[in-house]
Amino acid sequence: MDHVFHKPTPDIFVFQSGFPAMVNDRLLRAARGEEVDQVPVWVMRQAGRYLPEFREVRAKHDFFTMCQTPSLSCQVTLQPLDRFPLDAAIIFSDILVIPQALGMEVEMRPGEGPVFPSPLRGPEDLSLLAPPGDACTKLKYVFDALTLTRKELKGKATLIGFSGAPWTIMAYMIEGKGSKTMSNAKGWLYKHREASHKLLKIITDATVHYLVGQVQAGAQVLQVFESHAEHLGPQLFREFALPYLKQICDQVKEQVQRLGLPDIPMIVFPKGGHYALKDVAALKYEVIGIDWTVDPTLARELVGPTKVLQGNLDPCALYSDQKSIDAAVKDMVQKFGRRRYIANLGHGMYPDMNPDHLAAFVQAVQKHSKD
């Protein structure tokens, strides 16, 4: 009866066919491996505190209130596009809305980042989580934000939806906040192997529903953030990350097809997972995000000729002057090549970065990658 559950409501179909035509589909074309007039560019955390106009909105609202209010989420999603000629908008939200939808409390504390007042203490706490199938009904606000933003974009850029990958989400649910070692969460992998798989499966199921819902709502590309890959080595990654990344990609693609929606390019970003790039390249994600620690030539060798690569300038290179940014981007574009490539940073913007330096980055990508 699975297919009955996923049947879209008729008004979702109306929206899907009623969105403005694409004026700029450069990122979609590149993600499909097609030729482009210039390399598409967007930047992780492009909507954020480095922009004074973001800080102005943020000063008036709690972080998760912003996520939960479609007009505010749409407003800050579009802010960087008003300043820079970016080829994509990534919806303003957070990967931690999934633990919230599973019933956990998450606060965003200034200066501290996300904090779970009651993280998972042990396997017995798994029974407290809400069923994964129900989780998405609580995330309607993300779907509404996507639908609104897709309309407001007027086809000028591709709209990216996203989620965290299961291991990354599990790590937060157990640690309760950022951690240098992730030793509590990794402790589960060694001590509570079965319960770890159970938790990863719950997160995977909720995430599949959530990402399919994002496509129904208007997302045109999906990015899955495995931001804590750096804490797993090849063996732990193969057992606790890879199978769930695979399930997400396979199941989302299958369900999107079953719903009669267009095939959606999917991006996986295994941050710090240089050791796993070959394994990740065996999955069906069209695009692989590369962090700044990996040389572009090595990344290409590891993933083979057909995958699209995304990345990977060290975000801190934006602290240098605009001439140096131009030179670094020229080098990056030459190494990745113009085809099957999406320019980005190797991780997100930091709050103290100068917006003009991001402008220099975007401009340099366009200058050094034109026909």
Ligand X SMILES: Cc1c2[nH]c(c1CCC(=O)O)Cc1[nH]c(c(CCC(=O)O)c1C)Cc1[nH]c(c(CCC(=O)O)c1C)Cc1[nH]c(c(C)c1CCC(=O)O)C2
Note the residues at the interface with ligand X (CB under 6 A).
44-49, 58, 63, 90, 92-96, 108, 113-114, 162, 178, 225, 227, 271, 348
> Is the CB of 100 or the CB of 326 nearer to ligand X?
100
SS3 6: coil
Compute the least distance from the CB of residue 312 to ligand X, in Å: 14
SS3 166: helix
- Cα–Cα distance measured from residue 233 to residue 230, given in angstroms and rounded to the nearest whole number: 7
Compute the least distance from the CB of residue 48 to ligand X, in Å: 4
Compute the least distance from the CB of residue 13 to ligand X, in Å: 27
> Is the CB of 12 or the CB of 353 nearer to ligand X?
353
Beta bridge partners of 32: none
SS3 100: helix
Residue positions annotated with a catalytic role: 45, 49, 58, 94, 172
What the block records as the tokens of 332 is: 């990056």
220-255 burial, b for 16+ CB within 10 Å, e for fewer? Answer: bbbbbbbbbbbbbeeebbeebbbebbbbbbebbbeb
Q: Are 349 and 44 in contact (CB under 8 A)?
A: yes
CA dihedral in degrees (256, 259, 262, 265; nearest 10)? 0
> Is the CB of 13 or the CB of 141 nearer to ligand X?
141
> Is the CB of 132 or the CB of 315 nearer to ligand X?
315
Compute the least distance from the CB of residue 37 to ligand X, in Å: 25
> Is the CB of 123 or the CB of 355 nearer to ligand X?
355
- Cα–Cα distance measured from residue 273 to residue 8, given in angstroms and rounded to the nearest whole number: 36
> Is the CB of 111 or the CB of 260 nearer to ligand X?
111
Running DSSP on this structure, what letter comes out for residue 230?
G
Q: Are 326 and 360 in contact (CB under 8 A)?
A: yes
- Cα–Cα distance measured from residue 83 to residue 78, given in angstroms and rounded to the nearest whole number: 9
Compute the least distance from the CB of residue 188 to ligand X, in Å: 18
- Cα–Cα distance measured from residue 28 to residue 264, given in angstroms and rounded to the nearest whole number: 9
Compute the least distance from the CB of residue 184 to ligand X, in Å: 16
